[in-house]
Amino acid sequence: GENVEQHPSTLSVQEGDSAVIKCTYSDSASNYFPWYKQELGKGPQLIIDIRSNVGEKKDQRIAVTLNKTAKHFSLHITETQPEDSAVYFCAASRLTGGGNKLTFGTGTQLKVEL
């Protein structure tokens, strides 16, 4: 089955700096890669996702890059703000068959310091 590794497990940045979280996956057939943000006491919320036919996707201060050859993808947050502090999860799945079952990484606790 799929295995997703996520690094780092904790990340502390100064407000205004950039943050990068990296994930690798094992199943070359995976073709859908979402990123979720989880705030304390809440469920994960989708913030951005990317399909394998795209190398990069941006949404305001958030971007995701995908390298299919190396089987890794990354989340980039620019101009970080205190409200970006949360746990971030990457995930991978195949879109066809199996109901889009997601395999999650173990999460990154991001802290944005003033």
Partner 1 sequence: DAGITQSPRYKITETGRQVTLMCHQTWSHSYMFWYRQDLGHGLRLIYYSAAADITDKGEVPDGYVVSRSKTENFPLTLESATRSQTSVYFCASRSGAGNQPQHFGDGTRLSIL
Residues linked to residue 91 through DSSP beta bridges, in sequence order: 104
Measured between alpha carbons, how far is 26 from 34 in angstroms, rounded to an integer? 16
**Which of 79/95 has CB closer to partner 1?**
95
Residue 23 touching partner 1 (CB under 8 A): no
From the CB of 17, what's the least distance to partner 1, in Å?
25
Residue 62 near partner 1 by CB under 8 A: no
Which of 51, 58 has the CB closer to partner 1? 51
21 contacts partner 1 (rule: CB under 8 A): no
Enumerate residues 83-112 that contact partner 1 by CB under 8 A.
89, 95-96, 99-107
Tell whether residue 43 is a contact of partner 1 (CB under 8 A).
Answer: yes
Residue carrying structure tokens 């993808």: 73
In DSSP terms, 38 is beta-bridged to 87
3-state helix, strand, coil in the chain (%, to 5): 5, 55, 40
Q: What are phi and psi of 99, to 5 degrees?
A: 70, 25
Q: How many CA atoms lie within 13 A of 71 on its CB side?
A: 13
Binding residues for partner 1, per CB under 8 A? 1, 4, 6, 32, 34, 36, 41-46, 49, 51, 89, 95-96, 99-107
